[in-house]
C-alpha cells in the first residue's frame, strides 16, 4: 500500500521502504492489519504465545496456567497474562508498544537496522575522555540517515563509559510532535518494541517519580511519537540490558523538569538522555549561524531556549538548569545539519550531540 507522508513537499513512499525523514514534522497513518483469530488449541499449553483477534480473545476460555497471549488491536500489541482459575478469569498486566516509525525514520528490517546503526557507531569520531562520569547526553531525533551520524558520537561515548559507570537505566526526555501536551507525560506500557527486539520499561522508577512529580499517563501521546523511539536502536545495539523510562515534555516550568532530572541523578546508575533537534528549515549558512548561538547557550547552561532554536527546548532547558545547579559542565560532541549528512542545503535541520558531566 502507499502511505502518504506530509513533510513540506516530500512525496509519498511505498510502505515498507525506509523513509528517513530529516525533520520532525511527518504525519503517517499506519493501517491496522487485523490478525486472524486462532483456535484455542494453539495456546492451550503453559507458556504458549499466540496472536488473537481482540473481539475473540475477550470471550475465549483459557485451558492452562500462565499462558502469554498477544493480540493486535487499534495499532498496538497487547500482552495479557492469563491465570488459571475455576472462574476462567484473566488478568491484564501490561501492553507492548509497537515500533511506530519503523520503515519511516529507520529501516523496518532487523538486519538492515542493525547494519545501519553499527556502521554509524563504527564511523563516529572518538569522543573525548572526560574527567568524571557523564550524567546526561543530548541527541537528535530525525531519520537515522540524517541525524544518526551526530547521535552516534554521543552513543559511542555511552558505549565506552558503560562498563565503568554501571548504568542500569536511561531516562529519556523529549518533545511531543503528534499529540498536544501540556506538562510531562509517561506511557503505561510494560515494554517497547523495535525491529531489534523489546526494551523493558523501569516500572519501579516510574511509580516512584509519579509520587513526586506531575507525570500524566498519556499512551495516546507516546504511541505515535518518534523523538524517543528513534533512540532505541542505538540503545539496543550498545546496551540492550538497560531499562528505559520515556518521558514526553511539553510546555513545562524548567524548574519542574530540573527537579525531576536531579531526582534521577540521585541514583548514579541512572543516565538522563535529552532528545532534541536544533533549527528547522533554514538555508545551510543561516542554520549554521543560528545553531552556533543555540550551541553556545547549551554549553553555557542558559535555560532560556525557545522552540525555534530546539524542538526539545522544554526538556533541554530543564537539563541546563539542573546542570547549572549541580555545577556540571556541558560540552558539544558533534554538530551538523541534514545538508551535511544526507540532504540538500536549501532547507536544512540542525543536529547537535552534547554531554553533561
Query: Over the stretch 150-164, which tens digit does the pLDDT of each residue have?
Result: 999 999 999 999 999
- For position 34, what pLDDT does the model report? 33
Residue 341 pLDDT > 60: yes
pLDDT band at residue 78 using 50, 70 and 90 as cut-offs? very low
- Mean pLDDT over 302-307 rounds to 98
Strand-strand pairing, 280-282 and 243-249: unpaired
- For position 22, what pLDDT does the model report? 61
Structural domain boundaries of the chain? 40-97, 110-356
Residue 52 pLDDT > 60: no
- Lowest average pLDDT, out of 9-13, 260-264, 268-272, goes to 9-13
- For position 210, what pLDDT does the model report? 97
Residue 246 pLDDT > 70: yes
Burial class (CB in 10 A: 0-12, 13-18, 19+), 111: exposed
* Angle at CA of residue 38, ends 33 and 43, nearest 5°: 125
Nearest Cα neighbor of 24 from 351, 314, 311 is 311
- For position 339, what pLDDT does the model report? 97
Residue 89 pLDDT > 70: no
Residue 10 pLDDT > 80: no
pLDDT band at residue 94 using 50, 70 and 90 as cut-offs? low
The CATH code belonging to domain 110-356 is 3.40.830.10
Burial class (CB in 10 A: 0-12, 13-18, 19+), 324: middle
- Mean pLDDT over 26-33 rounds to 31
Burial class (CB in 10 A: 0-12, 13-18, 19+), 15: middle
- For position 95, what pLDDT does the model report? 80
- Lowest average pLDDT, out of 88-92, 111-115, 232-236, goes to 88-92
Residue the block writes with cell 511506530: 100
- For position 76, what pLDDT does the model report? 39
- For position 21, what pLDDT does the model report? 56
Residue 93 pLDDT > 60: no
Distance between CA atoms of residues 139 and 155, nearest Å: 9
Burial class (CB in 10 A: 0-12, 13-18, 19+), 312: buried
- For position 54, what pLDDT does the model report? 31
Q: What percent of the chain has a predicted confidence (pLDDT) above 70?
A: 74
Strand-strand pairing, 197-200 and 76-82: unpaired
Residue 73 pLDDT > 60: no
Q: Which residue has the higher pLDDT, 73 or 286?
A: 286
Q: At what angle do helices 313-326 and 284-299 cross, to 10 degrees?
A: 30
Q: Helix, strand or coil for residue 302?
A: coil
Q: Give the predicted TM-score (pTM) of the model.
A: 0.77
Nearest Cα neighbor of 215 from 167, 276, 277, 264 is 264
- For position 252, what pLDDT does the model report? 98
- For position 190, what pLDDT does the model report? 81
Q: Helix, strand or coil for residue 234?
A: helix
Nearest Cα neighbor of 349 from 146, 102, 116 is 146
- Mean pLDDT over 311-327 rounds to 98
Strand partners for 191: 96, 200
How many CB atoms sit inside 10 A of residue 259's CB?
17
pLDDT tens, residue by residue, 161-218: 999 999 999 999 999 999 999 999 999 988 999 999 999 999 999 999 999 999 999 9
Amino acid at each position: 500500500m502507499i502511505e502518504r507522508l506530509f513533510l513540506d513537499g516530500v512525496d509519498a513512499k511505498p510502505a515498507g521502504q525506509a523513509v528517513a525523514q530529516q525533520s520532525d514534522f511527518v504525519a503517517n497513518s499506519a493501517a491496522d492489519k487485523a490478525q486472524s483469530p486462532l483456535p484455542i488449541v494453539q495456546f492451550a499449553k503453559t507458556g504458549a504465545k499466540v496472536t488473537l483477534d481482540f473481539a475473540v480473545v475477550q470471550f475465549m476460555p483459557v485451558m492452562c496456567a500462565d499462558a502469554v497471549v498477544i493480540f493486535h488491536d487499534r495499532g498496538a500489541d497487547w500482552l495479557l497474562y492469563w491465570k488459571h482459575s475455576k472462574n476462567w478469569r484473566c488478568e491484564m498486566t501490561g501492553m507492548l508498544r509497537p515500533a511506530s516509525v519503523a520503515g519511516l525514520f529507520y529501516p523496518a528490517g532487523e538486519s538492515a537496522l542493525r547494519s545501519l546503526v553499527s556502521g554509524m557507531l563504527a564511523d563516529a569520531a572518538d569522543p573525548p575522555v572526560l574527567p568524571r562520569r557523564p550524567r546526561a547526553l543530548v541527541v537528535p531525533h530525525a531519520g537515522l540517515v540524517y541525524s544518526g551520524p551526530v547521535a552516534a558520537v554521543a552513543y559511542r561515548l555511552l558505549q565506552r563509559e558503560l562498563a565503568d559507570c554501571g548504568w542500569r537505566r536511561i531516562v529519556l526526555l523529549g518533545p511531543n510532535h503528534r499529540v498536544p501536551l501540556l506538562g510531562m507525560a509517561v506511557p503505561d506500557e510494560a515494554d517497547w518494541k523495535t525491529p531489534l527486539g523489546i526494551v523493558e520499561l523501569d516500572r519501579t522508577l516510574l511509580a516512584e517519580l509519579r509520587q513526586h512529580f506531575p507525570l500524566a499517563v498519556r499512551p495516546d501521546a507516546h504511541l505515535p511519537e518518534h523523538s524517543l523511539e528513534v533512540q532505541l536502536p542505538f540503545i539496543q545495539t550498545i546496551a540492550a540490558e538497560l531499562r528505559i523510562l520515556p518521558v514526553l515534555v511539553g510546555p513545562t516550568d524548567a524548574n519542574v523538569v530540573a527537579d525531576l532530572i536531579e531526582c534521577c541523578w540521585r541514583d548514579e546508575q541512572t543516565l538522563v538522555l535529552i532528545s532534541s533537534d536544533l533549527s528547522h528549515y533554514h538555508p545551510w549558512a543561516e542554520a549554521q549561524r543560528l545553531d552556533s548561538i543555540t550551541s553556545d547557550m547549551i554549553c553555557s547552561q542558559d535555560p532560556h531556549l525557545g522552540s525555534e532554536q530546539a524542538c526539545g527546548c522544554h526538556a533541554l532547558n530543564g537539563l541546563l538548569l539542573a546542570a547549572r545547579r549541580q555545577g556540571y559542565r556541558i560540552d558539544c560532541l558533534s554538530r551538523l545539519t541534514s545538508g551535511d549528512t544526507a540532504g540538500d542545503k536549501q532547507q536544512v535541520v540542525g543536529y547537535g550531540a552534547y554531554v553533561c558531566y
